[in-house]
Structure 1
Amino acid sequence: MTKNKGLNILLEIVGCFISAAGVYSFAVAAEVPVTGIAGISAILYRLFDVPMGLSNVLINIPIILFSYKLLGRSFFVRSLRCMILFAVFTDYLLPVLPVYTGNRMLATLCGGVVVGIGDALIYMQNSSTGGLDFITMAIKAKRPHLPFGNITFGAALAVILFNGAVFRDVDSIIYGLLFNFISAAVINKMMFGFSSSMLALIITDDGKAACDEIDRVAERGSTILQGRGGYEGSPKDVVLCACSNKQLYEIEHAMQTLDPGCFIIMLQSNEVHGEGFRQLKLGKSES
């Protein structure tokens, strides 16, 4: 999310159009189930020809009322805007545009990528198109200890299985799971993969030499912390350095040469979204 409100709204519009195109022009056209309220709307559309955008808005009304207090006014307003945009694109613009009518597997792959790109643009503006996004975020706000991925996966699986049961199409369950997996992977890559940075923690006997070597190979500054072994109480230097993936590889290789017995911890951070650091590797470097 940028500081430019006009740009944020523009990105919301683009994201909603791309996401709606992925659902309507690929998934629905190829009878591939999608998740969330959009998936339920797609089922109603196929069974009773109910406009997807309209049903999406109507189903979302009680969900919005349920989650409004938990998620706040700003998020509600942005999500309501995206929900209306998604409905307009789905019911009025995309029906007059060509849809993909080729191979079902190709529709699944392309649709998953397209929806992932669209949804990522929406989420990056701290918004959503409503539906299960509201429910899962509300549950997370109420029960922060619950794994967010488990909540979303469970909800997604329920809609996909329901679609397969209604239309007696076992293959659609497989296509739906693949579609959902691809879109989630694209969302994660767009939101976190391009903005991630690395943090190296190097436990060594000579922190100054390690800092000099890091500066030589990666031109990165580093910090030395004083540590002490918990068993023997021997003093150790803990060197911290934030860097890119490529620089981390160069630093690790340099440390292996400088001090084969050093202990290296590698962490990955999603700085833009404040997700903290995730441990990637823990152990002695090998020469």
Structure 2
Amino acid sequence: MNTYKMTGYLKTILPILLGTAIYAFGILFFIIPNHLMEGGVTGVTILLKYAFGLSPSLTNLLLNIPLFLLGWKVLGGRQIIYTGIGIASLSLFLWIFEKMIHLGWIVPFETDFILATLYAGVTLGSGLGIVFRFGGTTGGSDIIARILGRKYSFSMGQVILTIDIAIIGLSLLYVDKENILYTLVAVFIASKVIDFIQEGAYSAKAFTIISDHAPEIADIITKDMERGVTLIPAIGAYSKQAKYMAYCIVSRQEIRRINEIAKKVDPRAFIIISDVNDVHGEGFREDK
């Protein structure tokens, strides 16, 4: 592997490690000490901690391994590798912070419920936002959502929301109603922080790429990312030369990858990124 590729991988992997470290810190420093909850598989690990005293680092790894293997088989591709890194690093940092708390090196925050809720939302949102921005995930419901989206055309948002509601609802057996209300505040704050870090409040972005190599860029996007691309004939007003514009819709997690592809093929490509309020079609929402 050459130095250029290694540097590229490190620029993606290191931020994912940072993001999972922040996320793990928020779970063990703010969420669990104050008996709050979280959605997804992480929520299940927290629930198992409350119910049976099981270590979140261990249960997170055990629950995500079969999901990762299923995702590898069904989805494949580079992103599932980054998901594996996210799963492993989250479990590792959960274990590290568990040990640090046990040894008394850090003391969980339990003095103010409102502040704990606010900082829980900020830390969890910051951690996940960094992970998502660099193309990774922490596994769990994200893998399930991607699989169901491909197999049955459900949107990722619908699947993740359904899973989160089910897990938080189940937590009522072990968590006070007041704590659940605080949890909803933390989840809301986390979602806003994720949007802020992702530099956009919408679920999708529209790319218009104007380049002399637009067909080549479109072929790579179609092959590597399995996203549909439309080639639009155009004529440069100044040069009077005919060329193509590549137009495609992608999720926020794929913004960085699209930019990389376009700039690698044509460093002089003119790229326009637009907000998309709603998307209907294959890979997004599909009307029955």
CA distance in 2, matches of 1:74, 1:190: 22
- Tell me how far apart the structure 2 counterparts of residues 131 and 51 of structure 1 sit (CA, whole Å): 17
Deviations 1:120-177 (A, max 9, x none): 1111221111111111121122233x3332221111111111112234x111221222
Q: Is the 8 A contact 2:30 2:108 kept in 1?
A: yes
The residue correspondences of 1:25-104 to structure 2 (distance < 5 A) are 25-96=29-100, 97-104=106-113
Tell me what 2:164 maps to: 156
Spell out the pairing of 1:129-278 with structure 2 (5 A cutoff). Answer: 129-144=138-153, 146-167=154-175, 169-193=176-200, 272=255, 277-278=275-276
1:19 match: 23
* Number of residue equivalences: 210
The question of whether the paired residues in 2 share the 8 Å contact of 1:160 and 1:177 is answered with: no
Letter in 1 for 2:191: A
Per the alignment, in what secondary structure is the counterpart of residue 102 of structure 1? coil
Looking at structure 1, the residues matched to 165 and 146 of structure 2 have their Cα atoms a distance apart, in angstroms, of 17
Rounded Cα–Cα distance in structure 2 between residues aligned with 1:148 and 1:3: 31
The residue type equivalent to 1:113 in the other structure is V
Task: Tell whether the 8 Å contact from 1:164 to 1:172 is kept in structure 2 after alignment.
Answer: no
1:113 pairs with one of 100, 104, 122: 122
SS in 1 for 2:34: coil
Where in structure 1 do 4 or more consecutive aligned residues deviate above 3 Å? 194-199, 269-277
Paired residue secondary structure (2:42): helix
The offset of 1:112, in angstroms, is: 0.9
Aligned 8 A contact 2:205 2:274 in 1: no
Q: Is the 1:36–1:131 contact (alpha carbons within 8 Å) kept by the matching residues of 2?
A: yes
Q: Report how far residue 198 of structure 1 moved.
A: 11
Change over 3 Å in CA distance of 1:11–1:279 after alignment to 2: closer
Give yes or no for contact 2:28–2:97 (8 Å, CA) kept in 1.
Answer: no
Quick one: distance in 2 between partners of 1:131 and 1:117? 18
TM-score normalised per structure 2: 0.64
C-alpha distance in structure 2 between counterparts of 1:185 and 1:5, whole Å: 28
Aligned-partner Cα distance in 1 for 2:35–2:201: 32
State whether residues 28 and 42 of structure 1, in contact with CA within 8 Å, keep that contact through their aligned partners in structure 2.
Answer: yes
Partner of 1:263: none
Q: Which segments of 5 or more consecutive residues in structure 2 lack a partner in the other structure?
A: 1-5, 101-105, 208-233, 235-250, 259-272, 279-288
Contact in 2 for aligned 1:33/1:39 (Cα 8 Å): yes
2:36 is matched by which residue type in structure 1?
V
TM-score, length-normalised on structure 1? Answer: 0.65
Instruction: List gaps (5 residues or longer) in structure 1.
Output: 200-222, 224-268, 281-287
- Higher normalized contact order (CA 8 Å, seq sep 6+, divided by chain length): 2
Shift of the alpha carbon at 1:98? Answer: 2.4
Q: Partner amino acid for 1:130? A: G
Query: Do the aligned partners of residues 14 and 159 (structure 1) sit closer, same or farther apart at CA in structure 2, a change above 3 Å counting?
Result: same
